[in-house]
Structure 1
Amino acid sequence: MKCLVIHGPNLNMLGKRNQSLYGSLTMQDINALLSNTYPEVDFTFFQSNHEGLIIDLLQNTEEYDALMINPGGLAHHSVILRDAFELVTCKKAVVHLSDIEHREYFRRFDILKPLADVYVIGQKEQSYVLAMKELIEKHLQ
């Protein structure tokens, strides 16, 4: 199984950001956690602070069996990201480290949520692990 993991804006700053919300692991630590937990999965990891680069990548996902994205703040307002996410045909997950549904009012709505096959929030780094478990289960169905 091939899985593309996309980390959105500011996720390259994990470990330096508010650890009570986002945990203490860095983005590299999360990538290693996924790779070590699911050695049978062929992961490709990508991070960008630039929305257009993420959209370009979403438009070229044919070679993957699964996609996992943490869109960061783009989840709350980026219609163009939503449009690109909607075109992805493989099983797809949206994850958030924090529980966005219980944070500031402007973070509570995720425009990608209705399009996701898997949606996991508020479990810090375990959001990624739990979402990958569900993606694998859906892939095997």
Structure 2
Amino acid sequence: MRILVLNGPNLNLLGRREPDVYGDVSLKGLAAELMLRAPEDVELTFKQSNHEGDLIDALHDAFDYEGVILNAGAYTHTSIAIRDAISAIAAPVVEVHISNVHARETFRHESKLAAVCIGVITGFGLTSYTLAMHALIEHWRNRHD
């Protein structure tokens, strides 16, 4: 099973940006930790971009994946284009957030993406990614058993 882990704007600053909100682990550290937690039959590919079009291109290229873990960052709350890209692909997408967006500023409470994702995991720190990975694995197994 192949899963794309796609991170949006400012997530390249993990470990340095607002560690009280996002923690002190870098994006590379997150990738390493997630790879350690992945079952042997799961292949993870990691991509990050601060540019909306690059994220859309990565989603368009996700036809070869059985699932996508997407942290679109602030684009979650604004991007109809990313929403449309999610709708255009067959791979199921889980929206993730490190912080609990519902406990933060009100503009973060609305997701433009959630309705076209199979689920949303928010507020569990970097564990949100692990939970999303396991959710995608179970979703895939339930569809292929």
Q: 1:63-84: CA deviations, max 9, x gaps?
A: 1011111000000011111111
Paired position in structure 2 for 1:37 = 37
Paired position in structure 1 for 2:105 = 104
Long gaps (5+) in structure 1: none
Q: How far apart are 1:103 and its partner, in Å?
A: 0.6
Moved over 3 A (4+): none
CA distance in 2: counterparts of 1:113 and 1:53, whole angstroms: 20
User: How does the TM-score come out when normalised to structure 2?
Assistant: 0.94
Contact 1:118 1:135 in 2 (8 A): no
Paired position in structure 2 for 1:119 = 120
* Letter paired with 1:14: L
Paired position in structure 1 for 2:66 = 65
Q: Give the paired residue count.
A: 141
CA distance in 2: counterparts of 1:37 and 1:60, whole angstroms: 25
* Letter paired with 1:114: A
2:117 is equivalent to residue 95 of structure 1: no
Paired position in structure 1 for 2:14 = 14
Q: Secondary structure at the match of 1:61?
A: helix
Identity of aligned residues (%): 38
Q: Secondary structure at the match of 2:62?
A: coil
CA distance in 1: counterparts of 2:137 and 2:54, whole angstroms: 26
What is the root-mean-square deviation of aligned Cα atoms in Å? 0.9
What pairs with 1:120-139 in structure 2 (closer than 5 Å)? 120-139=121-140
Q: How far apart are 1:48 and its partner, in Å?
A: 0.4
Paired position in structure 1 for 2:47 = 46
**Structure with greater proportional helix content:** 2
CA distance in 2: counterparts of 1:88 and 1:26, whole angstroms: 29
Q: How far apart are 1:18 and its partner, in Å?
A: 1.2
